[in-house]
Structures are given as C-alpha cells and as structure tokens.
Amino acid sequence: MTKITFMGAGSTVFAKNIIGDSLLTDCLRDAQFALYDIDAERLKESKMMLDNLNANINGSRASINTYLGLRNRRAALRGADFVINAIQVGGYEPSTVVDFEIPKKYGLEQTIADTLGIGGIFRALRTIPVLEGFANDMRAVCPDAWLLNYTNPMSTLTGYLLRHCGIKVVGLCHSVQVCASHLLKSLELWDKYQPVTWRIAGINHMAWLLDITKDGKDLYPEIKKAAEKKNRSARKKDGTKHNDMVRYEMMRNFGFYNTESSEHTAEYHPYFIKRQYPELVQEFNIPLDEYPRRCINQIASWRKQRDEIVHNKKLGHQRTHEYGSYIMESILCDKPYEIGGNVLNNGLISNLPAEAVVEVPCLVNRNGVQGCHVGKLPLQCAALNMTHINVHLLTIEAAATHSRDLVYQAAMLDPHTRAELSLDDIRSMCDDLFEAHDRDNMLPEYK
C-alpha cells in the first residue's frame, strides 16, 4: 500500500487540493495518508474535511490518520513513499509581522517577502532547521521517499535539502503551468490562439517564457505589442490599472515574460519600489504589504470557509493543475509526465552555476524526477537570475554554518535591499531581525 505523508496538513485548503487530487487518481485511491501538523485544531479540521472527501469521491477506500507534534513526527513519516511539505514556520504572527515591520522602520517596503529580499532570507533561516529535522527522520524511517516541497523560499529551501540533507527532493510551484494561459488571457488573446506550445526555464519565481507559439508561429511580437499598449494606457494618470503592469514592463525592457506575479516581481528588482520615486508604486499598481493583508483577510474569512469545507458532508472535488498527484502517479505507474520542477542545475542551464536550483522542464517516470537540458538562457535573463542565485547560495551557506556575516552579505546582495539601504543600515536591520526572531525562538544561534 502506498503511503503519502503530508507535513503541514493543517493547511486545509491545500491539503484538499493535493490529497483530493490523489483520491481521484486510480493508483492512489487505496493509499494510506498520514497527516502531520503541530496545530491540533487545524489538524482535526483537515481530518474531518478529508474524511468527508474520501467518503464522497472515493468510497472511503483510503486510510487517513493524524499525527500531532514533534514526538509523533517519525511515526507519520515511517514507511512513506512520498512526503508532501507545505509548512510555514512562524506563521503570520509572530514571524511574518516581524519580517515586514522591522524593515519598514528602515524605509524598506515589501509586497510578499517569501522568496527573496530580507523577508525571504529570514523565512529561509527559520524554515531550514525544521526541514533538516524532517530530512533526518526521512533518512531513518523512509530513506527511499520523494519529498515534494511546496514551501517558500523554494530555491533556497530546495537547494539546502538537495545539497546538505541526502534525500530525494523536487521543488514545486504553481506558476509554471499557468504562465502562458494567464498571459494570453490577460491580453484577450487566449480564445484566438489556444492551445499554444510554450517553453519555460530559469529559476523559481523568475523562470522565463522563452518561446510561445501556435502552429509554429511566434506569438511574442503580437503579445509585446498588446502588452505595451495596455500598459501605456494604464500608466496615464486617469488610466485603468491592472494587476500585471510590472511583468509587462519587465518584458518590454528585457524581452521575455516571467512566471511569477507582478506583486512578487516588483520586490525582486531595484526598479519599482523606491523611496526616491514613490510615484512608481501607484504608477505600476504595486500592492505594498500585500502578504500581511492576505493573511489578515484569510484569518478573518476562515470561519465561513471552515463551515463550507470542513463541515460539508457533501464536499466534492475536481482534480486540480497541481503537480503532486501526477508526479506520484508517474513514479508508481511508470506513466511519463512532464512538469516544471526545481532541481539542482548541474549543467541543465549552461550559463547558471551548477549548484544553483533551477526551474526547468523535468521528465517524471519510474526513475523519479529528472531535469531536462535547456542550454543557455538569453544573457539578460541569466544575468537577472544571478541576482537571485547570489542571495540563494549565500543564504544556504549561512544556514549551514550559522554565520551571521553570510546573512549580512546575502542581504547586501539582494537587488531591492541594496538599492534602498546603506551597508550599515542593512547590517543593523539584520541584527534587529535576529533579535526579534531569537526572542520568538525561531532561529538557532548565529555568530
């Protein structure tokens, strides 16, 4: 019997997607699901929801059990074939609040702060020790299992696990498989051209739509013309704003569309969130403090959503576009499948470092997840990727050595942070963040 362990199963909606997809997959319907979390109430709610789902769409064929807290972690992992990771260490409070409010005191504004920047660095530092614990347990009780990592910062966490933890890992994001369709729909070109052929490669949250064609016709010229027209109109004082202005502007200047949203992209570069030019935030419709706002709204709306999901005896599900169930099906049934996965580079993209984690087409079959060779990225795309990879590699090394100096240096190389703050202010801000996270017992000691 296949065993699937879900770490962070209190993420009820995401657990519904991944496990619900699995319950609709023939070779996974009879699986044993182990739900693990440190929050007893959320774990109980996810169990109730999944029991209803299992009964309604699967005839209760699957076995679903819960495991609460550190002392039950190895039991949850024991004998697993697949481990799904969807944890968030520190949650909204205290950690996300700290990651936003302390930088703001230095004049550093953020939008999401979960991937790069000072927020992404400290999220990685507090998450890596927990993931290292997972990996240690996996080596002991399920050494052949695949870890499917959905937790951000994707590149840094996946890179640490692959380079330091000795387990099989692939990092998975939601943005690759919807990138091309989102772009065409946003420009009202989807009905005209779908389905299309596309190719994407780069790094997580900054992978590039390298090609997009219809029956051999390159669609980029028409896409760029339509995007520039839409942005030109939106940037006028009385123009109608839209939610993808930053990505369109990056495509206009660098030639390619990237996979992650404009609210993310705005904080990945030194061009958009600037104290010297505060009008850019409004001009490009940049939602500062977007992630805390989402957290507050999600917390406030959870009671209603809980009733709709957890206590719904008629709850159903349709298979989503999430890669998880397709990967497990492919490995178990030797059913070849292509994904956009995060793996160690090792020459897959020839003008990025071998030790970097890249997001590339991957073939999945009984041999697991195998990255496919891409070759060289356009020079400007590789150069922009390197501004992230520099931070990833320093953060990984900082976490491995508990070096405070390397954390300073990672922050000093972040494109947005270094464009806004002096070296002394970056160092001081990091010290304040260390103090706050230490006070909340979120970090090991850094010297």
Residue ranges of the binding site = 152, 173, 205
- Residue of 164, 174, 182, 317 with catalytic role: 174
Q: How far apart are CA 283 and CA 237, in angstroms?
A: 8
Contact 37, 85 (CB under 8 A): no
From the annotation, which residues make up the binding site for substrate? Answer: 152
Our answer to whether residue 174 is catalytic in this structure is yes
Give the DSSP H/E element, type plus range, for residue 302. helix 290-309
Copy the structure tokens of residue 311. Answer: 């206590």
Q: What is the DSSP string of 263-290?
A: HHHHTTSSSSS-TT-THHHHHTT--TTH
From the annotation, which residues make up the binding site for Mn(2+)? Answer: 173, 205
Copy the structure tokens of residue 263. Answer: 């609210």
Contact 54, 61 (CB under 8 A): yes
Q: How far apart are CA 43 and CA 62, in angstroms?
A: 18
CA-based R_g, the chain, Å:
22
Q: Comparing C-alpha atoms, which of 177, 151, 208 is closest to residue 320?
A: 177
Burial of 202 per CB tally in 10 Å (0-12, 13-18, 19+) = buried
Which residues does the annotation mark as catalytic? 174
